[in-house]
Amino acid sequence: MSSNKHKENIIRAIRKVSVISAIPALVIVTIAILLLPIVIVTFEWSLFHMLSILYIIYGIAVVVVNRKGILNVLKRIGHAIPLIDRMMNEKNFRFRIFMYWGTFISFLMLVFYIIACYVYDSFWFGALAGYNLIIMIIRVVMSRQDFYYKRKGYTGEKLHIKQLKTFRWVGVSILLLNIVIGGMALLMTFENQYFPYNAALIMSIAIFAIYRFVTGISNAKKFSENKNKIFSASKILDMIIGIMAMYTLQTTMLSLLPDNNKGRFYANLVVGIIVFFISLVIGIHMVYTSTKEIYNIEKEKIDKSA
């Protein structure tokens, strides 16, 4: 009872100190978001950075306490903008926008790693470029096929079979992608082929990896049963990218340890094997389930016509 009262007092104190309504809370959070990349890029043990980190933590507390009010304000703003309003109201349109955005991000990462591979003459950066190239190709093909099926006006069973075939193709592509993942894992484990990151980049990678991992897992679970199998495949791909991002974060953190550290060697080896087999199982599952469902649909059509 006393703990609940203590919790309510803390929440009430945050509201009084920071916000009376959702709009001031939104301003506080916006400043915290704008401050975050500056802190990451220029990080050092200074008074400015320590105060900035405290303010960012404070901004997170404001979000937690005022999340409902902030969401209502954002919804009102979103409804006033036609594109965002359509994204909020049309689920399929929103999924397509996210697919295109993911393709654009993969393209930017591909360009970055190609440049880094050339500048540092690093096979590790070349492997990362190959990984992002495959991701980008998969996303482009998924987006084009979804657009093509829509333009052709496919509906019902015919559309479902087409989407299942795309879903199966993505599964095959994930198996191909797994070859790259396995090669990267071997490089990081046995050849120490990676780039030593500084503290600011490690923080950036950590934020990106945690975000991709959490959203990838939650979205894959949420949309795994989506009727549009192309959308389901896109979310499964996001999950694999999230898992790989966490693996990259781990190897980045472990790169701070000496080369001959046995803990680093075994951690990279074990987690690399786990990531490889997770991707392998997902790819095989996608191919198997889609092929089985296509077979059952076509068999049912034959039985009906007989």
> What is the C-alpha to C-alpha distance for residues 200 and 106, in angstroms, rounded to an integer?
22
- The neighbour count for residue 251, using CB atoms within 10 Å, is 24
Per the structure block, which two tokens stand in for 169?
Answer: 């193709």
Lowest mean pLDDT among 164-173, 176-185, 190-199, 261-270: 190-199
Q: Are 114 and 71 members of one domain? A: no
Q: Are 298 and 186 members of one domain? A: yes
> What is the C-alpha to C-alpha distance for residues 51 and 261, in angstroms, rounded to an integer?
36
Statement: residue 68 has pLDDT above 80: no
Q: Are 131 and 159 members of one domain? A: yes
User: Residue 256 gets which letter from DSSP?
Assistant: T
Domain interval for residue 107: 90-305
Last residue of a domain, one of 84, 103, 138: 84
Residues 259 and 236 sit within 8 Å (Cβ to Cβ): no
Lowest mean pLDDT among 90-94, 202-206, 268-272, 301-305: 202-206
pLDDT at position 205 is 60
pLDDT band at 287; cut points 50, 70, 90: very high
* Cα four-point dihedral sign 60, 61, 62, 67: positive
Q: Are 95 and 80 members of one domain? A: no
> What is the C-alpha to C-alpha distance for residues 163 and 290, in angstroms, rounded to an integer?
9
pLDDT band at 276; cut points 50, 70, 90: confident
pLDDT digits (tens, 9 = 90+) for 3-55: 676 667 766 665 555 555 677 777 888 888 888 878 877 777 788 888 888 88
pLDDT at position 223 is 57
- How confident is the model over 113-142, as a mean pLDDT? 79
- The neighbour count for residue 185, using CB atoms within 10 Å, is 22
- How confident is the model over 93-101, as a mean pLDDT? 77
Residue 283 burial (C-beta neighbours within 10 Å; 0-12, 13-18, 19+): buried
pLDDT at position 245 is 74
> What is the C-alpha to C-alpha distance for residues 41 and 203, in angstroms, rounded to an integer?
9
pLDDT at position 212 is 67
pLDDT at position 44 is 77
Q: Are 77 and 223 members of one domain? A: no
Please count the structural domains in the chain: 2
- How confident is the model over 194-211, as a mean pLDDT? 61
> What is the C-alpha to C-alpha distance for residues 78 and 97, in angstroms, rounded to an integer?
15
Could you tell me how many helices (H) and strands (E) the chain has, helices first?
A: 10, 0
